[in-house]
Amino acid sequence: MAAAKNRPLSPHLQIWRWGPAMAVSILHRVTGNGLAFVGLAVLLWWLGALASGPAAYDGFLAHAGAWYGRVVLVGLTWAFFNHMASGLRHFVLDIGAGYELKTNALWSVITPIAALVLTLAVWAAILLR
C-alpha cells in the first residue's frame, strides 16, 4: 500500500491554542501517573515498615517527617485532590453537561484552585492538631 504524499498531517500541540481545559486534561493525566507510581511506592514502603516492626516504622516516620518527605506527601495530597476534582469534572462532561465554552472554561479554572484549597485545608488540619 503506497502512502499518499498529500495526506493531511495530524495537528500537534504547537498548533493548538492552549486553554484551561487542555491544561486540566494534561494535569489529570500527570497526577494520575504520579499517584500510580509515587503514591504506590509510598504506600508499599509504609505497609512494609508497618509490617516489619517498630524500628522500621520509626525509620519510615523519620523520612516522612523530614522536609523532603513532607514535600512528597503534600505533593501526593495535591495530586489526589486535583485528580479527583478533574475526574468529577469529566464525570459531569460524560453525562452531557458543561460543554458550553464559558462553563467548561470556568470549571477548568476552578478544578486546580479547588485542589489547592482542599490540600491546604487537609495539611492545616494535620499540622495544627
Question: pLDDT tens for residues 108-128?
Answer: 999 999 999 999 999 999 999
Tell me if 82 is assigned to some domain: yes
- The residue segments making up the domain with residue 110 are 21-127
Cite the DSSP H helix spans in the chain.
20-34, 40-52, 54-65, 67-94, 101-127
Give tens-digit pLDDT for 22-79: 899 999 999 999 999 999 999 999 999 999 999 999 999 999 999 999 999 999 999 9
Q: How many domains does the chain have?
A: 1
What is the CATH classification number for the domain harbouring 59?
1.20.1300.10
Letter for the amino acid at 97? Answer: A
Higher-confidence position of 98 and 107: 107
Tell me if 10 is assigned to some domain: no
Tell me if 6 is assigned to some domain: no
**Band of residue 95 on the pLDDT scale cut at 50, 70, 90:** very high
Tell me if 25 is assigned to some domain: yes
Tell me if 49 is assigned to some domain: yes
Tell me if 72 is assigned to some domain: yes
**Band of residue 9 on the pLDDT scale cut at 50, 70, 90:** low
Distance in angstroms (rounded) separating the CA atoms of residues 30 and 27? 5
Q: Is 12 annotated as a binding residue?
A: no
Distance in angstroms (rounded) separating the CA atoms of residues 28 and 81? 10
Tell me if 96 is assigned to some domain: yes
Tell me if 38 is assigned to some domain: yes
